[in-house]
Amino acid sequence: MHDVIRYYSKLLQQTAFFSFQHALTHDIYQGLSDGYAGNANEVKLVTRMVQVADGRRYDGIRLYAEKIHGSTSSVYFNCQGKSTSRELGDSVYITIITKGRQRLLQRVCIVQNKVAKQDSWAIDPAQLYLLKNFPPFSGKQGLFSGRQDVLFRDANKCLGMYGLFHFPGEMMCLSASLTAELLRGRHRFALTDISIPEQTARLKGNSSLYHFNPLMREEILYYLHRHGDLGLDFNSFYLPFLNYTTFMRDLHDLSRNWLLCNLGEYCYAFQPIDAELDRFAVSLLRRTPLADMIGFEQEGYFIDQAEVALFVAHIDIEGED
């Protein structure tokens, strides 16, 4: 754990890292702006993001992105007493931290993208229920075809998110729980309806990582005590990485949180902590070059004919001691 903190602490002192993140975001903006100019739909806008992100690298960071073509990933679940079928999501973001072939940490975020129509977004209540609560579900087609009673823990309510595209080429991200709170029973909201208090918008202290292993909190406190010169906030126990967030105002927020391992739900922290979610993530990761680079403990399951955009940030800290 010390190696992870040391790597990120050094990273945040490097101007070149922020230049890398800003360049990535700038190019995504350009792609989305061009897409908006051509009246592109969600699929085409997400595809532009994939094309920009794939293959980017900086220091130990390597980005992989792929648009997997096939059937929409629909699932069956019980929604307020009724059997319902909805799309699970159309983008999956994964951050994986390794040391050589060894996995250390891994997070997953499932995003449903929406394009603003008449300056507002329509939110389907049943899909919101799915992304907010993740009740047990069964696969109809796509990613979970043939799988029964899949259950994700979503302990910190950061697994499901909405990616809201709007003019002239921007994307805002809200957790499904925050989206439900803003809607308050409505089925549509506008950009002007989204007003988030600062204490809600900023990253939360006490990362979801510590929820699963209290010993990690002690390790980090000890590390911060010994390395106060790194500029980390010891008193409030706040880390700008390995944290979690429910709201990202723009693409800059998204790219930074993705790279700093603040995005989504932990499924692996030195061992699987959500076996089903980890199996799902590993199944997607095996489609990337990481399949030959990392020693995955489980095989996952076969994913074929799924319609989903995959975004992977691989952070290798090998060399830290």
Flag whether 321 is in a domain.
Answer: no
- Residue 319 resides in a domain: no
Measured CA to CA, the distance from residue 60 to residue 97 in angstroms comes to 10
Is the backbone peptide bond immediately before 136 cis, with ω within 30 degrees of 0?
A: no
- In whole numbers, what is the pLDDT of the chain averaged over residues? 86
The answer on pLDDT for 300 being more than 70 is no
Domain-located, residue 79: yes
Total domains present in the chain:
1
Find the domain containing 46 and state its range: 2-295
282 domain residue, yes or no = yes
Give CA–CA dist 189/199, Å, rounded.
22
Taking only the tens place, the pLDDT of each residue in 94-114 is 999 999 999 999 999 999 999
**29 lies in a domain?**
yes
Decide if 70 is inside a domain. yes
Examine residue 87 and state whether it is found in any structural domain, yes or no.
yes
Q: What are phi and psi of 151, to 5 degrees?
A: -135, 120
State pTM to two decimals. 0.90
Give the residue-averaged pLDDT of 146-157. 90
pLDDT digits (tens, 9 = 90+) for 258-289: 999 999 999 998 888 899 999 999 989 988 99
Residue 300 maps to a domain: no
Q: 196-253, pLDDT tens digit by residue? A: 765 555 555 444 444 444 455 556 656 555 655 555 544 445 678 888 889 999 999 9
